Copies of this chain bind each other. A is one copy, B any other.
């Protein structure tokens, strides 16, 4: 599900350098379709036609912003695409990629993540006379690269020196007149991978974009690495690859598409594993196991495998509801869930159900769904959550409500169970986060559950 009481990813990025000189706009457009789940508020593509930049970006989803005419105007064989999640009422100016002219021609930047020291960086720049036309971290990074370039011998050297100043999460793609670069922060909070189609390299947030573009997966960009693509040549700059990674575990739990493989681990497999762990940790007698579509499905499948309880469907998702659902009255606002989901009476009537979802943020949607199932005759609804409770804010690019809004900070598990109307409620034990099938030789960030932040952050007031 993609209801408003979910945590939100900030962005998806994509870059393509076609060595045969073909226009890349349509290919990037296809790839952005596959990354749409990472951001639905705005999107854009900028292409590079021998140094001359063309761009189209606006509020809206990929199939709303692009059309045959504007894709046709995006001439050029190197390009960068972006999909963006944004808080409501953000200005159109915040859409990415950000295109600038600087001392060495054009510079295009698409960014996924969140710079934790962005305020002090911006203040420092402003005190030296910088101006900002958006509220994006991206524009701050662009300023820093342009300044660094005045004393660096190359754009990649400038980018490398800027990495010393940036704290926090950034998986980004940078395009100069003749180069395409992928840059991932030393902790590697968010994914970034390398693909290849024929002899041409692709950079993308997730491998599912490579599949859609019918390209081959090459490898992930390493935490701290700069990957430099010049025609058929790919160079790696690893000066900053010296920190222990702390990849966001919520990428596996919710953000990423199940068909993606991130840093060597299949998202789908971690979800099946998590479902199994949940079945072991919080078993319960029931007639069938179901997931809340679509976020809970794989977890429920894993729970079914482990428990031996049959897997079934109890909710039908209306696949035609878009972002623009009109709510007339308060009653209709409450009823939005009725339009998006319907309980499958003949499946749930008289049944004891285990219902699995990825997380609870505010709890309202969850309560509506359980009521819907009970109204159709469900005898028991046992709620199983495939992650530990959210207790701490995220500073690295995930839009989780403030501490006060997080239901788990205000209520006990038993209180939440009553609030949502479940017959039982259990979360994934926080100790099990390490057992969902992640790599032992790698580090992960689960600060939203534990409060142990991998880098220093300013505490929430």
Contacts and interface: CB of A to CB of B under 8 A. Distances in A.
Contacts of A147: 128-129
A345 interface: yes
Contact of A102 (B67, B100, B132, B294): B132
A326 interface: yes
A34 interface: yes
Contacts of A37: 319-320
Contacts of A257: 316, 342
A339 interface: yes
Interface in A233-272: 257-259, 261, 266, 268-269
B146 A129 contact: yes
A326 B29 contact: yes
A30 interface: yes
Nearest to A143: B131
Interface string A200-211: 000000001001
Contacts of A128: 147, 150
A314 B335 CA distance: 33
Nearest to A210: B342
Contact of A259 (B129, B269, B342): B342
21 contacts: A26-B329, A30-B332, A33-B320, A36-B320, A63-B321, A71-B328, A101-B126, A101-B131, A103-B126, A128-B147, A128-B150, A129-B149, A129-B150, A131-B143, A211-B338, A212-B342, A259-B345, A294-B319, A297-B313, A298-B313, A305-B310
Given A102-B130, A208-B342, A259-B343, 8 more contacts: A30-B338, A37-B319, A67-B324, A100-B131, A127-B150, A212-B318, A212-B338, A311-B311
Interface of A: 26, 29-30, 33-34, 36-37, 40, 55, 61-63, 66-68, 71, 91, 98-103, 107, 126-133, 135, 142-143, 146-150, 208, 211-214, 257-259, 261, 266, 268-269, 294, 297-298, 301, 305, 310-313, 316, 318-322, 324-326, 328-329, 332, 335, 338-339, 342-347
